[in-house]
């Protein structure tokens, strides 16, 4: 993984210096995979997407205007234009176009989404001017599009998708998310964690919910759902995990650390490890905490007086974490054994997508 990331970092640097290269899809065969990075140009205010093939060295750079909520879906990147609210998609051919089936129609105030880990499907919420939420799911190409029978929450709240399982089998969502985050909030938190089994058309109750306004996550297969836990959302935080099929619970006690806010929770593939960011208050110092759910132990993996590192994924057989700087962007790798921190790229890694 380290050598591959190093190659990707070099490619990002070369593309950033020389501009858009030959589109990846134009030079590849009928199938392949490319890695996707996103970066901000401070001088122009443009956001740039980088589609990179580490094997061939081919790449494409796509300039977009004020993008946010980036997610990988199938062979493209979905995002929202921050200025206009238009829902767009970009692909490795360098094409930008309105999304074909997720669109901000008249009267829709918010659209938020969560893609499945394999990029094969997407769930999204549409919130209208009256504050009514509607949840939808569909395959990458728009097939199987359906509205889920989830009731809209009360005034000032919305539904918010958190995690969609591969195969479009299960959706984890917040059933009472605030319509607007508090000004200056460091982390997105979830008020009432809920599960809907799409294939069986039934709801699964998570024991104890709603627990607190705290971070939450789900393993890629959807079997394990977790959330940080503390009274009124003020840490230090315990970690609760539910095994959805059996209803079994695991509680990892809170560490003896002085961190009162936390978020950016992620799980590894099997749901046995977790990582999250934490802060003493509304600013530094910050911390990165790793949780071993099997040993039921939390530990401080890294602290910083200035930088809030946001975990992106466990890599290298769970021996390392891929991170980003929450403010400056970029991609870093933290060795969980040695504590060594390596900057991989000055662009943020989004993941890999397949090419048709």
Helix (H, G, I), strand (E, B) or coil at 264: strand
List, in order, residues 6 or more apart from 97 with CB less than 8 Å away.
88, 89
pLDDT-above-70 percentage for the chain: 90
Work out the average pLDDT over 293-302. Answer: 97
Q: What are 332's strand-pairing partners?
A: 323, 343
Work out the average pLDDT over 163-182. Answer: 94
Element (H, E) at 88: strand 87-91
Q: How many CA atoms within 13 Å lie on the side-chain side of 288?
A: 27
Neighbours of 17 (CB within 10 A): 7
Gap between the Cα atoms of 122 and 120, Å rounded: 7
Gap between the Cα atoms of 155 and 180, Å rounded: 12
Confidence of residue 4 (pLDDT cuts 50, 70, 90): low
| 157 pLDDT more than 60 | yes
By mean pLDDT, which of 45-59, 143-157, 304-318 is the weakest? 45-59
pLDDT digits (tens, 9 = 90+) for 175-224: 999 998 887 789 999 999 999 999 999 999 999 999 999 999 999 889 99
Gap between the Cα atoms of 347 and 320, Å rounded: 19
CA of 69: how far to CAs of 72, 110, 114, 314, 331, in Å?
10, 12, 9, 21, 17
Domain parsing of the chain, residue ranges: 106-204
By mean pLDDT, which of 33-42, 130-139, 314-323 is the weakest? 33-42
Residue 21 confidence (pLDDT): 44
Work out the average pLDDT over 273-289. Answer: 93
Residue 5 confidence (pLDDT): 52
Work out the average pLDDT over 298-302. Answer: 96
What global pTM score does this model have? 0.89
For 10, phi then psi, to 5°, come to -65, -40
Confidence of residue 56 (pLDDT cuts 50, 70, 90): low
Gap between the Cα atoms of 187 and 277, Å rounded: 9
By mean pLDDT, which of 60-69, 157-166, 233-242, 309-318 is the weakest? 60-69
Q: Which has the higher per-residue pLDDT, 168 or 1? A: 168
Confidence of residue 43 (pLDDT cuts 50, 70, 90): confident
* Among 54, 62, 63, CA closest to 10: 54
* Among 292, 266, 269, 268, CA closest to 277: 266
């Amino acid at each position: 993984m380290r050598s591959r990331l190093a190659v990707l970092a070099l490619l990002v640097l070369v593309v950033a210096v020389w501009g858009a290269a030959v589109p990846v899809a134009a030079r590849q065969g009928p199938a392949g995979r490319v890695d996707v990075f996103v970066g901000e140009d401070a001088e122009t205010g443009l956001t740039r997407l980088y589609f990179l093939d580490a094997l061939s060295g081919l790449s494409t750079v796509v300039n977009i205007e004020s993008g946010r909520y980036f997610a990988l879906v199938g062979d493209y990147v979905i995002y929202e234009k921050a200025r206009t609210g238009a829902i767009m998609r970009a692909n490795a051919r360098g094409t930008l176009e309105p999304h074909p089936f997720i669109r901000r129609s008249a009267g829709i105030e918010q659209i938020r989404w969560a893609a499945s880990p394999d990029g094969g499907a997407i769930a999204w919420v549409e919130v209208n001017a009256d504050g009514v939420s509607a949840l939808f799911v569909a395959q990458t190409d728009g097939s199987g599009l359906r509205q889920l029978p989830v009731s809209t929450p009360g005034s000032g709240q919305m539904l918010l998708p958190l995690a969609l399982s591969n195969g479009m089998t299960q959706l984890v969502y917040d059933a009472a998310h605030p319509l607007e985050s508090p000004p200056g909030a460091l982390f997105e938190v979830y008020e009432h964690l809920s599960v809907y089994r799409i294939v069986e058309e039934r709801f699964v109750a998570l024991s104890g919910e709603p627990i607190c306004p705290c971070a939450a996550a789900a393993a890629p297969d959807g079997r394990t759902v977790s959330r940080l836990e503390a009274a009124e959302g003020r840490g230090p935080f315990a970690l609760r995990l539910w095994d959805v099929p059996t209803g079994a619970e695991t509680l990892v006690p809170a560490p003896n650390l002085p961190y009162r806010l936390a978020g950016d929770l992620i799980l590894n593939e099997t749901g046995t490890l977790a990582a999250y960011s934490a802060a003493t208050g509304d600013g530094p110092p910050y911390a990165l905490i790793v949780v071993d759910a099997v040993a039921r132990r939390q530990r401080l993996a890294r602290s910083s007086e200035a930088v809030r590192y946001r975990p992106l994924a466990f890599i290298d057989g769970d021996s390392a974490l891929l991170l980003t700087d929450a403010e400056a962007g970029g991609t870093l790798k933290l060795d969980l054994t040695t504590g060594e921190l390596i900057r991989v790229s000055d662009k943020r890694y989004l993941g890999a997508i397949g090419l048709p």
